[in-house]
Amino acid sequence: MTDAATLTRDTAATGAPLLKVEGLQGWYGESHVLHGIDFEVRQGEVVTLLGRNGAGKTSTLKAIMGILSKRSGSVNMGGTETIGLEPRHIARLGIALCPEERGIFASLNVEENLMLPPKIADGGLPVERIYQLFPNLLERKRSQGTKLSGGEQQMLAIARILRTGAKLLLLDEPTEGLAPVIVQQIGATIRELKKEGFTIVLVEQNFRFAASVADRHYVVDQGQVVDMIPNADLDANIDKLHAYLGV
């Protein structure tokens, strides 16, 4: 099977999208939630999926990872079609999901949580670099998961996928419910990860935060992508974006 390092190298050489999603349909049981999602992400980009609650943003990330009950269409990662693959094989292509619910193990301390996910490719960040990005976690590395604040849990959820070797990070609502100072820290970390070569798909409702980190914004509504706005054009499209988001 093609590995994450080969995909990243080959995609960089061709200039092709690292991730290309076309006509993506998705279901939870009998409930049809995605109705033809189309978007693409190039290597090194930060792209956001913006939309109201229930628009299909989180479902899109789950469909990319293959963890919806049923999906169809095309999800191409670096030239490899993933629709027929199991989630464990999709992960080995270099995709990692940081879910909204974070999934921190309460019985494990910070460092044990950090070391839990297996490496899927070379090129993951060493633990020392992760602690540089998240100094709060270094201070709390012996603390149990139950002792962490919401912001620290979010930092840990992001941190533990960075050492796996994944190069495409799917971040689901990383700022939801967090204090402004923590939101600023997470924004700074996302910008730093972009400098280090990571590609990021970010689900957000806070478009002001999204504007501080992203290259482009895809607007999702009723299970479809209805618009794409380059970050440079965001101010000129602010009224339209407000209408989309119901602000």
Measured in whole angstroms, how far is the alpha carbon of residue 197 from the centre of its chain? 14
Complete domains list, the chain, with CATH: 4-101+165-177+189-245 (3.40.50.300)
Asked if 66 and 57 count as a contact pair (C-beta separation under 8 A), the reply is: no
d(CA 118, CA 4): 14
d(CA 125, CA 97): 16
**Token digits of residue 192:** 């730093």
- pLDDT one digit per residue (tens) for the chain, 247 residues: 455 555 444 444 346 799 999 999 999 999 999 999 999 999 999 999 999 999 999 999 999 999 998 999 999 999 999 999 999 999 999 999 999 888 899 899 999 999 999 898 888 999 999 999 999 999 999 999 888 999 999 999 999 999 999 999 999 999 998 999 999 999 999 999 999 999 999 999 888 899 999 999 999 999 999 999 999 999 999 999 989 888 6
